[in-house]
Chain A
Amino acid sequence: ELKVEQNPLFLSMQEGKNYTIYCNYSTTSDRLYWYRQDPGKSLESLFVLLSNGAVKQEGRLMASLDTKARLSTLHITAAVHDLSATYFCAGDDKIIFGKGTRLHILP
């Protein structure tokens, strides 16, 4: 069964800085997802990555997928406080989730 590992699990960073969240998965996965969850809220779909080398960008967030390395990254550029949330990556048809990265951006 697919296993998904994210790191770091907690991240506190200053506004304006760049950082990357890593997502490793254990077996072949047809697709890789990134979601955002605010405290007490549901999950919001951010990106769906379907193929090796896929790169998608939305605002200050950019996601990429390397299927050979079984690695996806979520890069945050010039972070702002509004990006504070928990970010999950997930793979496989059943959507197997990682434990999430709790991102806290300090003003």
Chain B
Amino acid sequence: NAGVMQNPRHLVRRRGQEARLRCSPVKGHSHVYWYRQLPEEGLKFMVYLQKENIIDESGMPKERFSAEFPKEGPSILRIQQVVRGDSAAYFCASSPGGIPLHFGNGTRLTVT
């Protein structure tokens, strides 16, 4: 059973470019969560999605960030016009609607 798969593991972007982070949940899981983790800090909730729907995006910055979880394919976290402050580890987690969450290995984004 494959766990939550995130890719890429490491992503380097120059300021102003776009970053696309992918998350394939555990097979059969229809709930996906995205978190951001800065060095030496905890995880900050960004967005919670179910298939084709955004349930809660209260942790997402209002500009430049978007997320989707289409009927087919992985969930995508998209960051447009990246800035240095976007450098962080981005974790995706999935669940079947219950608990606990299964976390992916994260994507470490570096903006140069």
A contact residues vs B (CB 8 Å cutoff) = 1, 31, 33, 35, 41-45, 48, 88, 90, 94-100
Contacts and interface: CB of A to CB of B under 8 A. Distances in A.
Interface stretch (B14-22, B69-77, B96-104): B96-104
A99 B41 contact: yes
Interface string B37-71: 00001111100100000001011000000000000
A94 B45 contact: yes
A42 B104 contact: yes
A88 B43 contact: yes
A76 B103 CA distance: 24
A44 B91 CA distance: 12
B105 interface: yes
Contacts of A42: 91, 103-106
B79 interface: no
Contact of A94 (B48, B91, B99, B106): B48
Interface residues of B, number: 21
Interface of B: 33, 35, 41-45, 48, 56, 58-59, 91, 93, 99-106
Contacts of B101: 33, 45, 95
Contacts of A48: 99-100
Contacts, number: 48
B45 to A, nearest CB: 5
A96 B56 CA distance: 13
22 contacts: A31-B99, A33-B101, A35-B103, A41-B105, A43-B43, A44-B103, A45-B100, A45-B101, A45-B102, A45-B103, A48-B99, A48-B100, A94-B33, A94-B45, A94-B48, A94-B58, A94-B59, A95-B33, A95-B35, A95-B101, A99-B42, A100-B41
A95 B45 contact: yes
8 tightest CB-CB pairs across the interface, nearest first? A45-B100, A97-B42, A43-B103, A99-B42, A97-B43, A42-B103, A42-B105, A100-B42
A88 B105 CA distance: 16
Contacts of A98: 42
